[in-house]
Structure 1
Amino acid sequence: MTGIPDFHGPHVEPPLPGHVTLTWYDPTPRPPRIRVISHTCECRDTTYELCAAAGQSFVRRTDREKQTVRETAWTLSVTAQRIFQQILHGEAR
């Protein structure tokens, strides 16, 4: 019998001194389906998701404490992936 796979995402590192301050926008209705490519662990109040739709990508930030959802600008997939990695490593918020 195989074990249940671990579905926890990575934990976000604390922001580093001098980290990049990202601009966060209110979500706007775009394509009806958005695919989550990667996500951070649900154990924190704020989670991040790398999302893709309509040939572009963005990062979604959900703050359960403040009950807000924000997203970065929609951009090339490689740019959104870099932003997501910067968030994970504390280089951007």
Structure 2
Amino acid sequence: KDDAIKVNTTSIYFADVALLWWCRRSTDEKPGGNTIRTWEEFQRELKKQFYPQYAEKEARAKLCYLTQLFGSMFGRLASKESSNLL
């Protein structure tokens, strides 16, 4: 019962494309078919629909790049400041 409350409460806040997806998903369900019954199923279906397959990998790659970029910028800045102190 708690899962049904979570799913119903969350779906109230959907807008635009997510709302259309949920309405279609809810009305397409057939008796005994692929009905979302648990919070885990809801999260899985939502991610499958809206979370790109490689989004996490791409985000990690961007973070790694930015870390290296800012690390080298900080290193150059620190080196310049230390040489100014001498």
Normalised to the residue count of structure 1, the TM-score between the two structures is 0.28
Higher strand share: 1
Kindly name which structure, 1 or 2, has the bigger radius of gyration based on alpha carbons: 2
Higher helix share: 2
